Amino acid sequence: MKTASLTLLIFLFNLSFLRAQQEPLTTYSITGKLVETNKQPVLFASVALYSSADSTLIGGATSDEKGNFVIGTDRGNYFLKVTYLTLDEKIVPDISIENQGVNLGVIVMKANAQELEEVLVKGEKSQMELQLDKRVFNVGKDLSNIGSNASDILNNMPSVTVDVDGNVALRGSQNVRILIDGKQSGMVGMSPADALKMIPGDLIESIEIITNPSSRYDAEGEVGILNIVMKKNIRYGLNGSFTGTAGYPSNFGGSFNINYRKKKVNLTANYGNIYRNGPGRGTSRQEYSSADTSFVYEQDNRRNRGGYSNSFSVGMDYFLNDQNTLTGTLSYRKSRNKNNTTLEYRDYDFNNTLTKTVIRTELEKEPRANFEAALNYNKTFERKGQSLALTAKYILSDETEASKYNESTLGEEYSIAQRSFNTEDEKNILFQLDYIHPFGKSGKFETGLKSSIRMLDNDFSVHQQNEEMNWIILPEFDNRLAYDEKIHAGYLMASNEFGKFFVQAGLRGEYSDILSELKKTNIVNHRRYFNLFPSLHLSYKLEDMQTLQLSYSYRLSRPSFRDLLPFSNFSDSRVFRAGNPLLNPEYTHSFEAGHLLNMEKGTLLSSVYYRHRLGVVERITSMDSTGFTRITPINLSTGDSYGFEFNLSYDPFAWWKWTANANVFRSINEGVYQDKILKSDTYSWTSRVSSKVTLFNNLDFQSAFNYRAPRKTTQGRDLAQYFIDLGLSRDVLKGRATVTASVRDLFNSRKQRRIIENAGYYSKSEFQWRARQFLVTFSYRLNSSKEKSGKMNDNNDDDES
């Protein structure tokens, strides 16, 4: 089967390539010279050639250092569009090519800064765009996103929360799938929480929130998909942007994103560098009592996490002809973090008298590297909407966490020296095929195949120095996990319009073959299972300004390899977070109804949803009589979630823009652990309100307020959290550049506060991952305007299958 599939892919590719080679070469040229009103040549302007019949883009060029340009084409009737940042757009109509080329002579372009500003405002992208199965958020519209990283940007998205450990949740659930450009990526593979902090926000174009994915997407992700769309430009000529950031506490970075397109070749490159060094702190109090013992201890946690990250990507699009495109990309990311932590434990007796103070320090070094290579072939056909896409991807990642610990008791000479090593090596191979076949006026069939292979090796050990100064391995913290995952999938989907009614239905089948083996304890867990995942999307246009949407999907969440590890880290000698090699997948039925109201000055999207979950994974906290706390995930319960969500964008005036979103939900979970019923029934909500004011045509001021209400859990409750962000932005250098100043968490209030209550056990904690941030960012645009999309075509298709 694999051999046959590979043979088919090679045959289709060679057939398209041979057809491309047989097409006649271009023999006619359109030439001209671009000048300003002062007779100075216009350098590096974009010159695009379109067909007069249907406005199809035929080709293009960039003017040289003398303002000259040459475009090759066949016989036909065309028009020319010339664009440059600070000059009026120029249209040259009625260009006819018969038996010879055409010289258009001198083309004069006028400068008009006032008209430019008007064009920028009218052509501005909406911050939110609604499509059938997703919401698209253009991150550059939010000033608090400028100079940030992917984790910060996700935290500003509606219904998305990021906790102090960097874990991402959508509508209150952390079982969310994170993709890069519609596909799985090693950039967020092994440790998404840490990896997202290493992706510069300046390289991100938009975030897509897909709460009820269609069968086109992987079934993975109980609550949906977050797709991070990276910037990619295929405008003719040389285009790009450059960004530099400086902030306090230490936050420095720089990035660029450029492309050069000429005739059949488009070259792209981007680079991002981040250096961060941020303090964090927290406190907790643990109380334990039983029939024969009781004790209390408090903990102060002070940490400093920092390091650098470099991300580099190059790519080439080769347009074989109008219907066949071959794209290759190479990406490499390397980072090295250095983290320092100091824990202070204070032990008290039952009379609340201090009996002992223990200091534990950690010095961690954390180097990581990720390499990705991808090859894509896209073919369109003469029939509009018919397409074929083939993808092959190879990902190689490695990560090492090496820590040194020292623990001592005040007033005692003896101290404990320990060290731990955690190495993770990962390899991914992915093959994917997607085909779309239109029928009738607006219908289409979609089908696809996907195979992914993931091989991961994780070696973890903790060593302790004995009295003879020799390092001895602690056997209870020593093992090696081999994790092999093979997932093969196929899907069928059909959609059509019937007047004001639109329907899309699909079915996806996935075969999972997952082997996890703990080498040193000889624990093997081999699971094979096949599932069918249906999806249904309905849309009805009530009237010109309103649309109603209904959707259903069936999904699963497989345990990540970290959730299967019986060990995690050894930073806190009294609190141990471990995995569970016996975890099963979660399954979810998801229903959603949405209503879109388009108003003259804004839009309102309202949604109600319901999710029924089976085998819900909960992290159980338990403490023994020695004061050792263990946190372990188990398939504890069934769960039901009901929610209402709205997204509002409203512009009361041309210079004032409002956005607001809220997610109000009820979550019920119930299960049994150690013969005890654990249940939670909570009402909670999250919200964000943002106001952006434009002053003097080029000065923007934005304020944003974020709030997360308290929430009950099966073992306690999470307390409320709020924070405020401010931003100020001004265009400079005649609109070619922008300077932005911002502050995140103005009142230093973004803290996670949690209470856990069990029989004989009480815990209260507060932690702040990162203190208030001040940032200044400078962005410069090369031959591209601030608000234009920067694209004549967009190849970032969400084609995960």
**501-544 pLDDT tens trace:** 999 999 999 999 999 898 888 888 899 999 999 999 998 888 76
Task: Specify which residues 268 forms β-bridges with.
Answer: 259, 315
* Separation between Cα atoms, residue 27 and residue 35, nearest integer Å: 27
pLDDT of residue 189: 56
DSSP conformational letter for 385: T
CA 729 to chain centre: 25
192: left (phi over 0), alpha (psi -120 to 50) or beta: alpha
635, pLDDT greater than 70: yes
User: Which of the four pLDDT bands, split at 50, 70 and 90, describes residue 4?
Assistant: very low
pLDDT of residue 261: 79
- Range of lowest pLDDT (438-442, 737-741, 758-762): 758-762
pLDDT of residue 676: 82
pTM of the full structure: 0.74
Contact present, 195 and 265 (Cβ < 8 Å): no
- Range of lowest pLDDT (280-294, 450-464, 467-481, 558-572): 558-572
360, pLDDT greater than 70: yes
650, pLDDT greater than 90: no
Residue range 123-148: mean pLDDT, rounded:
64
pLDDT of residue 662: 92
User: Which of the four pLDDT bands, split at 50, 70 and 90, describes residue 257?
Assistant: confident
| CA distances in angstroms from 155 to 158, 190, 417, 667, listed in the order given | 8, 20, 38, 21
- The residue that leads in pLDDT, 661 or 790, is 661
Q: Where are the beta strands (DSSP E) in 519-571?
A: 523-543, 546-557
DSSP conformational letter for 26: P
DSSP conformational letter for 562: H
pLDDT of residue 246: 94
